[in-house]
Structure 1
């Protein structure tokens, strides 16, 4: 038996020696073939010792059986506190739970599904605080403030609009996605989207980096793309001479008459 020291000090001797009892407890909840070697005993506290046994149960590599024993002061009778199956450092365990809102991916919503936005969502701010586009500056500060006050009084426009955080999150997501510069399609493209005639530019602060593809023959049709994205459907792409299709030969005119067929 291997006795492991812990912060609680040396394991209680009678409890540390009760390996057979600990194994018998494990065998009450597991088949004999599922219980392996004794891995050691260590102190949990005063007269409180835990024994570990390797687990041979199929599907549980890296797990171990844990049995905790105790006894009263000056007592000889040993009491079983608990027996559990625990994961070790190399055990395969389920991934950490993630809230459903963080697990959602584009395309997960079905017709009729609702996804309400939290009141304190950092991506949104009240429209009257920043205007309909927080980074579009057609008016000076005083004029924009006046427009906001009027819109607030009359209840006009959208209730909330994108905040700086919301714009940055969208820009980062689009840049790192399939419409960004690192997509395999973009790396093999002959030209970038910024010079393509099918690019529809966005308005506001995102107009300096993003647009929407309007080429019905392209993979990104109707999707947001970065200016440094690209594909083979660029409006100015030209085929090299060796890539051009071979010209069709002239039609052959059949001049054989019925009399000629008889001589064949």
Structure 2
């Protein structure tokens, strides 16, 4: 399996079982630094000849390895889903629960509204809590420079449309077309400069400073008078 010059010194052996031993050899291939050749040899019962059972290249200490494989559904990030992409959910997704299951404070309302209307699953309390933490800590939460500089919170803004159910006290949708979060879910304690009550605009007119008048002092100025010939000044005043 190895090309000439790729097998180095013997590194030891491990007893795998009766008449089964694995020998380890240093790998000299520069592409596999830190790896080792593992040659497993065995002898059949009552046989005298030893045969090679398996030969494999194994990583050793300091070997360069590929990153641990992560399933595709765990590699996805918000915004990765493109046009035409489908993201199926697992049958046992913890974020969802059957539509006829009570999910919280508004359970009675959900039981009446959801039962038999086509939605097989609805948001579970676990899925709701995940969304609450995600929204509250994101760009539409209270911990952003935009929210810190806002004149007031979204909960007092006329463009704030509260969500229904148990989330109405904490979240709503921004309906101000000039706001950066128009059409997005925002936390009630978020805020921006497009607040409906931010009607007092700072004046852009700069008032001139009053003139400084000194009635006590004076400056001597040299002036001259010209005689009829226009040649010499006659004196100073």
Band of TM-score, shorter chain: 0.5 to 0.7
Q: Deviations over 1:181-203 (max 9, x none)?
A: 55xx4498334744563544322
RMSD of aligned C-alpha atoms? 4.1
- Cα drift, residue 167 of structure 1: 0.9
Counterparts in 2 of 1:69 and 1:162: CA distance versus 1, 3 Å: same
- 8 Å CA contact retained: 2:141, 2:147: no
Q: How does 1:67-86 map to 2 (within 5 A)?
A: 67-72=39-44, 76-86=48-58
- 8 Å CA contact retained: 1:186, 1:229: no
Aligned position for 2:69 = 97
Counterparts in 2 of 1:106 and 1:84: CA distance versus 1, 3 Å: same
Structure 2 unpaired stretches of 5+: 209-237
- 8 Å CA contact retained: 1:196, 1:234: no
- 8 Å CA contact retained: 1:190, 1:237: no
Counterparts in 2 of 1:43 and 1:120: CA distance versus 1, 3 Å: closer
Q: Distance in 2 between matches of 1:89 and 1:214?
A: 58
Counterparts in 2 of 1:195 and 1:176: CA distance versus 1, 3 Å: closer
Alignment counterpart, residue 126 of structure 1, candidates 98, 101, 126: 98
Q: Distance in 2 between matches of 1:187 and 1:63?
A: 53
**Pairs aligned (count):** 204
Q: How does 1:37-76 map to 2 (within 5 A)?
A: 37-72=9-44, 76=48
Max radius of gyration: which structure?
2
Structure 1 unpaired stretches of 5+: 1-27, 250-264
Q: Deviations over 1:6-61 (max 9, x none)?
A: xxxxxxxxxxxxxxxxxxxxxx42451x4344322221122322122233434434
Counterparts in 2 of 1:221 and 1:157: CA distance versus 1, 3 Å: same
Counterparts in 2 of 1:212 and 1:151: CA distance versus 1, 3 Å: closer
Counterparts in 2 of 1:180 and 1:106: CA distance versus 1, 3 Å: same
Counterparts in 2 of 1:52 and 1:218: CA distance versus 1, 3 Å: farther
- Cα drift, residue 80 of structure 1: 1.1
Aligned position for 1:224 = 185
Aligned position for 1:261 = none
Q: Distance in 2 between matches of 1:56 and 1:156?
A: 67
Aligned position for 2:148 = 189
Q: How does 1:196-215 map to 2 (within 5 A)?
A: 197=157, 199-214=160-175
- 8 Å CA contact retained: 1:213, 1:221: yes
- 8 Å CA contact retained: 2:147, 2:190: no
Report the TM-score when normalising by structure 2. 0.62
Q: Give the structure with the higher percent helix.
A: 1
Aligned position for 1:135 = 105
Q: Deviations over 1:138-177 (max 9, x none)?
A: xxx6xx59x73x974xx44744321212212222332344
Counterparts in 2 of 1:72 and 1:126: CA distance versus 1, 3 Å: closer
Q: Distance in 2 between matches of 1:211 and 1:58?
A: 59
- 8 Å CA contact retained: 1:202, 1:210: yes
